[in-house]
Amino acid sequence: MQAGSASSADARPRRRRFPFIALLVWALLAFAIPPFVQTLDVVDVMGFPLGFFMLAQGLLLAFVIIAVLSAWRRDRLSGGEE
């Protein structure tokens, strides 16, 4: 039983680390990219400035990817296969 308790104790910090990493990536994307939008607005993409296009499309895609990875990780850790 000692081996089982040691492995579950080792897995516990890893479970808690991923949400913080996902939140950190989300915060970096949400707060670090928008100040650079003005410099990207010189280029047009489909009639929209590149900065606006990247914020509207790229950040939304990045947030969806973070949410999907987080849900997949949580499902894998909880043994979601039934």
Q: What is 24-71 written as a DSSP string? A: HHHHHHHHHSGGGHHHHTTSEETTEEHHHHIIIIIIHHHHHHHHHHHH
What's the pTM value of the predicted model, to 2 decimals? 0.64
pLDDT in tens, 61-82: 999 999 999 889 888 878 766 5
pLDDT in tens, 1-11: 455 555 555 55
Answer for the pair 54, 33: CB distance below 8 angstroms, yes or no. yes
Say how far apart CA 33 and CA 73 lie, in whole Å.
26
pLDDT in tens, 32-62: 888 878 888 888 878 878 888 778 888 899 9
Find, among 80, 76, 79, 72, the residue nearest to 22 by Cα.
72
